[in-house]
A = this chain, B = another copy of it.
Amino acid sequence: MGKRILIIGGVTGGASAAARIRRLDADASITIFERGEHVSFSNCSLPYYLSRTVEEADYLLVMTPEGFRDSYDIEVRTNSEVLAIDRESKKIRVKDKIAGEEYEEAYDELVLSPGAAPIRPRSIEGVFLPHVFTVRNVNDIVNLDQYVREKDRHNVAVIGGGFIGLEVAENLKESGKHVAVVEAADQVMAPFDYDMSQILHKELLDHGVELYLGDGVKAIAEDHVTLVSGRKIPADVVVLAIGVLPETSLAKDAGLELGVTGAIKVSPDFRTSDPHIYAVGDAIEVYNSLTRKPAKLPLAGPAQRQARTAADAICGKGGANKGVIGSCAVRIFGMNAAATGLNEKTAKQNGIPCDYVYTMAMDKVGLMPGSAPAHFKLVFEVPTGRILGAQSIGAGNVDKRIDVIATMIAMNGTLEDLKELELCYSPIFGTARDIVNQAALVALNVLHGVFRQVHVSDVRELVESGAYIVDVRTPEEFAEGHLKGAVNIPLGELRQRVSEIPEDCPVYLHCRTSQRSYNAIMALKGRGYENVYNISGSFLGISFYEYYMDTVTGREKILTDYNFM
């Protein structure tokens, strides 16, 4: 008789661990206990059922209990809630939710993969009303969908602008609903810096999603939501997507150690403080290898890797634990967005000396159908040039470019390495100098002080203080929209008109994407100008940066008009 291995939780981490253990150990007895009705479903695909991108809810199920039994000789008990762990006697107490009975099971090794639960703050009045939903499993999304359809509800308030919130918002919007997103922070999607998030804000607004930033929810009533600011939003359906909290009660009650983040603390091979109990997935505390600090990262990819390492450890094999860097991707209507590693904000919060560049190269050769600019922000360590993180947003392929950066981070790559990467090129797919190479080249210029740059957030102050700003785009582009007070000297005329540019004050340059302004800066430097700055993000970046605030608050504009591609 083999080892008796019990696994609590049958979604990503639990299912992966079970399958891996079976492959390594034909004799083990493996049982998965799942509180919910389903095991091994595609969590990340749940929102896509709302728009019928995923046509049937059943399609969300990756594997059935029968599949586990037949293909893996693994027993799955659904609707089975584990109530307690008795570490001394190595037993768990289980409640069969259908039969209403409780029983015990003994284990040799136990794996905890209980996941994380959506936050439902009791401080919000009305948070338990029947039209308030959270999204965690297949039943949740089916219930939400049924409610919206059967009750013919049209006004949805999504609370929280993270992955789940925005995906739910998109899919309900696509299914014809009126959708408002409420987010307490001043931006959606925390993995992105404030400047980059403005592109997402515009995309949401452009698709008719209402956006309430910097405002929380105070109370939920049957037909509306009241925000902290006092504003009232009509809403007959509310989706809470504020975030998740690791499910730690079972571990805590069993006296297992929790980490500083409140999640379950684990060893390098995902063992808890009890050597016969492992833990993986959203419930555990992970190690961020860039900040070198404990963190929570409820994502499927890391959960799968953790499950594998835990299974290897249970079966007496050494396993890997490289920590996490936090790679993620999301689609918001026509924009794809991805990020990895540290953004400017978190790098600075962690006291890591760093700088960044914000580029907007085309994602494929400009004359090819569907080519579009990819907004790309690259964060690097100073003075080493070591790559710390990147974010990209665009209509085309951005996530796999961020994968290249994630790979560089994992391999301790520097800007020099990145600029030399020999990537695949066809005009159908990219450019001979890819976005990531281009970002590295610009970043090296910043690192080596070849030119200096100002942040897009500083442009308003420059304009208001009457700084000397040169717009080197063509007169036609300038006419379509420009910064108030900017001087238009097209790059092609710069050499003839250089005498117009004062030498005794700072000169700030921009074009549309910083390609022309870079050449202009180098030309001015060659002519002895020392005090020249590139405006990071250039006109396209400025336009995005100002758009949301200008649209929403009606404050005085610093642009005569916006000029998006």
Q: List residues of A whose CB falls within 8 A of some B CB.
A: 12, 19, 22-27, 42, 44-45, 48, 53-54, 59-60, 67, 70-73, 299-305, 320, 322, 324-331, 336, 338-340, 365, 367-369, 397, 399-404, 406-408, 410-413, 416-417, 419-430, 432-434, 491-493, 495, 516, 518-519, 522-523, 525-527
Complexed CA–CA distance, A410 and B387 (Å): 15
A488 smallest CB distance to B (angstroms): 15
Complexed CA–CA distance, A39 and B5 (Å): 69
Partner of A369, one of B53, B424, B428, B432: B53
Are B429 and A336 neighbours in the complex by a CB distance under 8 Å?
Answer: yes
A422 smallest CB distance to B (angstroms): 5
Nearest-neighbor residue (CB-CB) of A2 within chain B: B526
Nearest-neighbor residue (CB-CB) of A24 within chain B: B522
Q: Hey, which chain B residues are within 8 Å of A24, CB to CB?
A: 522
Are A425 and B327 neighbours in the complex by a CB distance under 8 Å?
Answer: yes
Nearest-neighbor residue (CB-CB) of A433 within chain B: B304
Partner of A302, one of B338, B407, B422, B516: B422
Q: Hey, which chain B residues are within 8 Å of A367, CB to CB?
A: 42, 45, 54, 59-60
Closest 10 CB pairs of A and B: A26-B526, A400-B400, A70-B492, A411-B411, A329-B424, A300-B432, A23-B522, A329-B426, A407-B407, A59-B367
Q: Hey, which chain B residues are within 8 Å of A407, CB to CB?
A: 404, 407-408, 411, 413, 421, 423
Q: Hey, which chain B residues are within 8 Å of A22, CB to CB?
A: 519, 522-523
Q: Hey, which chain B residues are within 8 Å of A53, CB to CB?
A: 368-369
Nearest-neighbor residue (CB-CB) of A44 within chain B: B427
Are A26 and B397 neighbours in the complex by a CB distance under 8 Å?
Answer: no
Are A427 and B522 neighbours in the complex by a CB distance under 8 Å?
Answer: no
Known: A60-B367, A426-B329, A427-B45. A416 touches B299 (CB 8 A): no
Q: Hey, which chain B residues are within 8 Å of A413, CB to CB?
A: 407, 411
Are B424 and A340 neighbours in the complex by a CB distance under 8 Å?
Answer: yes
Nearest-neighbor residue (CB-CB) of A70 within chain B: B492
Partner of A428, one of B324, B331, B417, B526: B331
Are A338 and B424 neighbours in the complex by a CB distance under 8 Å?
Answer: yes
Are A71 and B492 neighbours in the complex by a CB distance under 8 Å?
Answer: yes
Q: Can you name 6 extra interface pairs (CB under 8 A) apart from A23-B522, A397-B400?
A: A45-B427, A60-B367, A71-B491, A340-B422, A400-B429, A403-B423
Are B427 and A48 neighbours in the complex by a CB distance under 8 Å?
Answer: yes
Q: Hey, which chain B residues are within 8 Å of A404, CB to CB?
A: 400, 403-404, 407
A450 smallest CB distance to B (angstroms): 9
Q: Hey, which chain B residues are within 8 Å of A59, CB to CB?
A: 367
> Can you list 12 A-B contacts (CB < 8 A)?
A12-B432, A27-B526, A44-B426, A53-B368, A60-B367, A67-B492, A303-B432, A330-B426, A331-B426, A400-B403, A404-B404, A407-B413
Complexed CA–CA distance, A392 and B233 (Å): 50
Q: Hey, which chain B residues are within 8 Å of A299, CB to CB?
A: 425
Are B410 and A325 neighbours in the complex by a CB distance under 8 Å?
Answer: no
A441 smallest CB distance to B (angstroms): 8
Are B54 and A368 neighbours in the complex by a CB distance under 8 Å?
Answer: yes
Are A519 and B420 neighbours in the complex by a CB distance under 8 Å?
Answer: no
Are A416 and B48 neighbours in the complex by a CB distance under 8 Å?
Answer: no
Complexed CA–CA distance, A304 and B406 (Å): 24
Are B417 and A411 neighbours in the complex by a CB distance under 8 Å?
Answer: yes
Are B491 and A70 neighbours in the complex by a CB distance under 8 Å?
Answer: yes
Complexed CA–CA distance, A422 and B210 (Å): 33
Nearest-neighbor residue (CB-CB) of A324 within chain B: B422
Known: A320-B419, A492-B70. A426 touches B410 (CB 8 A): no
Complexed CA–CA distance, A19 and B433 (Å): 14
A544 smallest CB distance to B (angstroms): 22
Q: Hey, which chain B residues are within 8 Å of A416, CB to CB?
A: 320
Q: Which of A304, A426, A526 has the most chain B CB atoms inside 10 A of its CB?
A: A426
Complexed CA–CA distance, A401 and B19 (Å): 26
Q: Hey, which chain B residues are within 8 Å of A322, CB to CB?
A: 420, 422
A431 smallest CB distance to B (angstroms): 9
Q: Hey, which chain B residues are within 8 Å of A338, CB to CB?
A: 424, 429
Partner of A526, one of B25, B45, B419: B25
Nearest-neighbor residue (CB-CB) of A419 within chain B: B320
Partner of A401, one of B45, B368, B400, B433: B400
A15 smallest CB distance to B (angstroms): 11
Known: A301-B432, A402-B424, A403-B404. A26 touches B527 (CB 8 A): yes
A174 smallest CB distance to B (angstroms): 13
